[in-house]
Amino acid sequence: MRIKGRTTSRDTFGRERGRRSPWGVLALVMLSGIALMKNGVDVGLGPPQPAAAASLGSHTGETFLPVPLEPLPYAPPATVRLPSIDVDAPIMDVGLDDKGWIAAPPPQDPNLAGWFQNGVAPGQRGTAVIVGHVDNQAGPAVFYGLGSVKKGQLVEVPRLDGRVAVFEVYGVEVFSKHDFPGVRVYGDTGQPELRVITCGGGYTKADGYDGNVVVFARMVKTR
């Protein structure tokens, strides 16, 4: 997987950058699905998969906050924390690879996540995207436990401006890479939202993982 280099945007968060729609580039992702890792490893029974109770259900609107929070201005994320699965990982910028997939961080570092820098920053209005490996050739990686996250648990994203955006999980699902619902995953709900994504589903040595685990979360507070 090829990671695109950082841009100067990480040094310009003092002035709010206009919110950019990521649909121009994410259209490529929707056509092919997200491929975060093409070769996994055999680790016991494999990573946990989302439980039915964690799915979005048929009426996702009922989980929206009655009074949306004021979005934060633009500032790149520094780290991502999921206390429920003991994740506290630094974040690097990622873009798209040459096949139109969201690139992932280098697999050699198991505790590293990537922020899709062509979208919005966590805390801005819109849907921010953070990705990471489920495993590498040595064993479990940063988001190995992502499928076990439950509704109501928190994702904290400290940002480079010193603010922390705190998101509450309202759904966890696994989608086939061959039928990835881009509009459902990336769509702008009108609120600051976050998607945390890794590989999941079935696994074969020939084709790797056939799906993606997606955590759906919405900002509930800042500090």
For residue 44, the domain's CATH number is 2.40.260.10
Pairwise pLDDT comparison (44 vs 152), residue with the higher score: 152
pLDDT at 101: 78
User: Could you tell me where the beta strands, DSSP code E, fall in the chain?
Assistant: 79-82, 87-94, 113-116, 126-131, 135-136, 139-140, 154-158, 164-176, 192-204, 208-222
Give domain status of residue 177, yes or no.
yes
The SS3 of residue 159 is strand
Please tell me the total count of domains within the chain: 1
Helices of type H across the chain: 23-32, 182-186
pLDDT band at 42 (very low <50, low <70, confident <90, very high): very low
Biggest CA pair distance of the chain? 48
Looking at per-residue pLDDT, the higher value among 97 and 53 belongs to 97
For residue 2, tell me if it sits in a domain.
no
User: Looking at residue 123, what is its pLDDT?
Assistant: 98
Asked if residue 1 belongs to a domain, the reply is no
Range of 55's domain? Answer: 8-222
Q: Token pair for residue 34?
A: 């997200």
